[in-house]
Amino acid sequence: MKNVTSRNRPDGQLAASGAGHRAPGEPAVASKGVAALTMRTKHAVLLASVGAFASFAAASTACAQEMAPPAKPPWSQEADAALAQLDDTLAAPELTFTARTIRVYLDEFGQPLHIFHTMKVTMRRPDRIKIQVSGDDGAQDLFYDGKSVAISTPEANTYALLPAPGGIAAAANEVLDKLKVDFPLVNFFAAGTEQSLLNGIVGGWQVGMDRIDGVECRHLFFNKRGGTDLELWIENNAAAVPHRLIVTYRLLPGQPSFTAEFTNWDSRVRTADAVFAFQAPAGAKQVELTPVNASAQQGRP
């Protein structure tokens, strides 16, 4: 967490992320106080690992060609209809939800490890968003008021500010592409933009029906360009509220994955501007942002 739709665009990371979904290749940016602002040592390992995964994926065309095609048809009518419903759900004018996420990555010894986060999202399109994330590697908050992004690390009592006019998509570009800051699942609710997790889907079908928390859900499977698979569980109704997401990177070492379970989904909320405005805590230190040499944010949901 340290360091957030059309069906025919290149693909995450929300998601996060965790969850990768963009590989712009731009240099990342970190603060001079990056250890305090963004991550502990193990999360730096996570980001480095994710960056290595993205590099591997870019060089894996031959491997992808050798893989057997899916046994199912490229598209099913059920999956196509469900994805259209989900597009509408994610594009709601206002939205709040909670997500519990698990990111699997390889450490420097090739051992798969897991990092857990809980995130609370409040969003009002086109230019307001607040994300509060806590997890194994600490806590971090993001505020976007339509003009600037504030990234706050409560444990260190530090924050950074940067201009980001142009709406949520522009803010996501600044935070995810140019900063060494990771807010899982941002790409999941970036509906209608190039950052959307649902971009680049080339095939999909309905696996079956499951019940999650007593609600009947469609279990859907989608293939994306670049060797990424998505599994989605969405309510079997017109609302199509997502309950679970699993992203698997088939061509990367160890086939790392990202899992999110959603609760408290609400598209009827009405949120005041003050919720998205950042107020620096007493005694908080502002840190500057400076370029770094690694683009470790590639390959996250």
**Per-residue pLDDT, 28:** 35
DSSP class of residue 93? S
Domains of the chain (ranges, CATH numbers): 29-291 (2.50.20.10)
pLDDT of 167-217, one tens digit each?
Answer: 887 787 777 666 666 666 877 766 666 667 788 889 999 999 999 999 999
What's the pTM?
Answer: 0.72
- In angstroms, how far is CA 236 from the centroid of its own chain? 24
pLDDT of 4-17, one tens digit each?
Answer: 333 333 333 333 33
DSSP string covering 171-222? HHIIIIIHSS---TTGGGG-TTSTT-TTTTEEEEEEEEEEEETTEEEEEEEE
Considering only 87-96, 225-234, 285-294, which range has the smallest mean pLDDT?
Answer: 285-294
In whole angstroms, give the CA distance from residue 177 to residue 164. 13
pLDDT of 136-171, one tens digit each?
Answer: 988 999 999 999 999 999 999 999 998 888 888 778
